[in-house]
Structure 1
Amino acid sequence: MLSFRTVHTLARCLLTTDADTETLGWGQPLTLLLIHDQPQTPAGSQRMCETRTLEFPPHRDDLLTDAAGLPALPHRLAAALDNPDASTPYQATLDTIIGLIRKTEPDARLLAWAACYDTIVTTVGQPRQARRVDAVDTDGRRYEVTHLHGEEHALLLVDDTPASGDIPATYPGLAAMLAATARYSHPSTSAGTA
């Protein structure tokens, strides 16, 4: 179970991700993000974490040309990642990313998967363009950052118990990706990937 401090740090990381999206070119039409922690434990203090967000690149054949395909993409990736014994390009990419992370930070944990994308939302009965960052953490907690175009600040929702009728279309796919990569959510005692 993630601590309050970790949940707070993850929420702050997602707001930073939203703020950096235009600079990084994320969200056109979808960017999948792997979020992990990097423990920083100075001598004699409690475990402190810093979160890192990494783009998980879809294969050229999986790039979305239509946002309607957004809910299905994380499910396809989860299926490709689900079998650690199978050698798929996505599995090789994930193993490489986790291996590089744990080479410098053996205690790093996968905290969440996120999707960053542009969409239309309805506010006060009017459709408006917005950027969204939806995430699901290892406890199943839902995070939703909505940044309406033209607004200075984004809105953040953190939901500990997502109701089935009140979740974005990305939630089931992100949850499937977490299930497929659960073996990476625990710290490693060696520099390996699992």
Structure 2
Amino acid sequence: MLSFPAVHTLAGCLLAVDADADVLGWGRSATLLLIHDRPLHPDGPVRLRAVRSVEFPLHPDDLLTDPAGLPALLHRLATALGQPDRDAATAYQVTLDTIIELIGIRSGARLLAWAAVYDDLLPAAGRARRVRRVDAVDTDGRLYQLTHLHAEEHPAVAVHDGPGAANTFPAGPGLSALLAATARLAARSQR
């Protein structure tokens, strides 16, 4: 179970992701992020943790131009990552295994969430407005939604808690499935 400070820090991480995306500009393909934390000073007496996000690279054939395809892509990735046959590992499994190794799951890092960053259209006041979304689901099933309207200075962040919160938006079930597949792969790498 994530603590309140961990939830708050994770929301702050999503704000930082949005600020980074703002620098890159609007109209980019969807980006997937694996968010994790690890001990800041592994051998120190204080148990401070650093939260980081790692971009999960998508194959050019999987890059989306339409956010409506994001839920299907997330489920397809979760299925590919969840295949038990390690002898026939997919490129995505190899990539995730490498990321898990690099973030140091064996040395105290823990998976926190999967996030999707994408541009979308939001119907508002009779017209469609460009919006950047950062949707995430954490290991407790909590849903984070960041919405940044184009030409607005600050985004809005909402955190939804409770049973089935992740199922209340289109990308939620796919992000949850990715989180479950990643947790299984991380558990295998710890052995």
Task: Report if TM-score (shorter chain) is over 0.5.
Answer: yes
CA shift for structure 1 position 164: 6.6
Q: Structure 1's 71 and 26: CA in aligned 2 closer, same or farther, altered over 3 A?
A: farther
Q: Structure 1's 48 and 113: CA in aligned 2 closer, same or farther, altered over 3 A?
A: same
Kindly indicate whether residue 68 of structure 2 is the aligned counterpart of residue 68 of structure 1: yes
Find the counterpart in structure 2 of residue 128 from structure 1.
129
Find the counterpart in structure 2 of residue 160 from structure 1.
161
Which whole-Å deviations, capped at 9, do the CAs of 1:141-194 have from their partners, x for residues lacking one? 0000000011110100001126579822111110110111123667x9xxx555
Q: Is the 8 A contact 2:166 2:176 kept in 1?
A: no
Q: Structure 1's 71 and 65: CA in aligned 2 closer, same or farther, altered over 3 A?
A: same
Find the counterpart in structure 2 of residue 19 from structure 1.
19
TM-score by length of 2: 0.87
The SS at the match of 2:119 is: strand
Find the counterpart in structure 1 of residue 138 from structure 2.
137
Q: Is the 8 A contact 2:13 2:51 kept in 1?
A: yes
Find the counterpart in structure 2 of residue 96 from structure 1.
98
Cα-Cα RMSD: 2.6
Which whole-Å deviations, capped at 9, do the CAs of 1:41-72 have from their partners, x for residues lacking one? 47333x22211111101112212233321111
Letter in 2 for 1:92: V
Q: Structure 1's 152 and 109: CA in aligned 2 closer, same or farther, altered over 3 A?
A: same
Q: Is the 8 A contact 2:97 2:185 kept in 1?
A: no
CA separation in 2, counterparts of 1:98 and 1:136?
18
Q: Is the 8 A contact 1:102 1:193 kept in 2?
A: no
| % same residue | 57
**Range that drifts further, 3-12 or 122-131:** 122-131
Q: Which residues of structure 2 form unaligned runs of 5+?
A: none
- Normalized per residue, the structure richer in helix is 2
Find the counterpart in structure 1 of residue 3 from structure 2.
3
CA separation in 2, counterparts of 1:166 and 1:122?
21
Find the counterpart in structure 2 of residue 118 from structure 1.
119
